[in-house]
Amino acid sequence: MIIAVASGKGGTGKTTVAVNLALSVGKTNLIDCDVEEPNVPALLSVEGALPESVYLPTPVVDQEKCTLCGKCAEFCQFNAILVGKTKTIVYPEICHSCGGCMLVCPENAIHEENREVGVIYTSKLDNLTITYGELTIGEPMATPIIGAVKTKIVADELNILDSPPGTACPVIETIHGSDYVILVTEPTPFGLHDLSMAVDVVRELGIPHGVIINRAGIGDESVKDYCIAKNIPLLLEIPFDRNIAELYSNGIPFVREMPEYREQFKDLLREIEEAL
């Protein structure tokens, strides 16, 4: 089973939920798909992770063969190729590696070379297999690294995906193919606003979903009212608790010091399994 933990905004507690859920339910593949800011390894103090580079095929132009016909630039929908008066220039950072320019070149003047765009890491901790990725500084596209991280999903095991914040392409790349999405929010107007956008995305993708309210008690009842109105299951409320905050600030998942929450997360997983 694949469970993605997502939200419409940053800072709601996605990593907190993903890590504490994984620690509570036993053997799990915990996969951090926030490749621009992976927090799972920090919260679990991951050490000795094995690196694996991620490459993208990128066009290279043989200027001696190129006749400056412009067919490659005309084909490219992302403006990654500029045909000038004396040479053809490729902008690799905005290339989507579709290979089309190579196919349409009448002079066979374009070939592809691999370019490193990030690294994924794998490590073991107790019953967890932890995978996370890091996008190379300066690279604008996170989705290829997320795709590489997701290759570590094991079909016949429990996989928990910690999603990037927001509702843009990296989130869609993460949650696509999931069996269930846990949406983490906070009981504030900002939390409700961004939750509603996240709900629109998962419903458009047709993925079953439920809501966890983190820092419960600091705001109002509008998130609960929204969930009732939209018929969205409220899976769990995590209170605004100083002890939880202090544990988090020291890099300690709270189920390690507050074992009563382990059963709540186990019950949450059983509820998800029954809903599928």
pLDDT the model gives residue 53: 97
State yes or no: pLDDT of 246 exceeds 90: yes
SS3 labels along the chain: CEEEEECCCCCCCHHHHHHHHHHHHCCEEEEECCCCCCCHHHHCCCCCCEEEEEEEEEEEECCCCCCCCCHHHHHCCCCCEEECCCCEEECHHHCCCCCHHHHHCCCCCEEEEEEEEEEEEEEEECCEEEEEEEECCCCCCCHHHHHHHHCCCCCCCCEEEECCCCCCHHHHHHHCCCCEEEEEECCCHHHHHHHHHHHHHHHHHCCCEEEEEEEECCCCCHHHHHHHHCCCCEEEEEECCHHHHHHHHCCCCHHHCCCHHHHHHHHHHHHHHHHC
* Terminal alpha carbon distance of the chain: 10
Average pLDDT of the chain to the nearest whole number = 95
The predicted pLDDT at position 258 comes to 93
Average pLDDT over residues 124-129: 92
Q: What is the pLDDT of residues 1-60, one digit of tens each?
A: 999 999 988 889 999 999 999 999 989 999 999 999 999 999 998 888 999 999 999 999
Task: Output the pLDDT for position 216.
Answer: 93
Is 162's pLDDT higher than 90?
Answer: yes
Domains for the chain: give ranges and CATH numbers: 2-54+118-275 (3.40.50.300), 63-108 (3.30.70.20)
Whether 243 shows a pLDDT value over 90: the answer reads yes
Q: Which amino acid is at 80?
A: A
Task: Give mean pLDDT, residues 247-270.
Answer: 93
- Give me the pLDDT at residue 47, please: 86
Question: What pLDDT, in 10s, does the model give residues 135-150?
Answer: 999 999 999 999 999 9
Answer whether residue 87 shows pLDDT above 90.
Answer: yes
pLDDT band at 219 (very low <50, low <70, confident <90, very high): confident
Verdict on whether the full-model pTM lies above 0.85: yes
88-105 residue pLDDT tens: 999 999 999 999 999 999
Residue 157: band (very low, low, confident or very high) from pLDDT cuts 50, 70, 90: very high
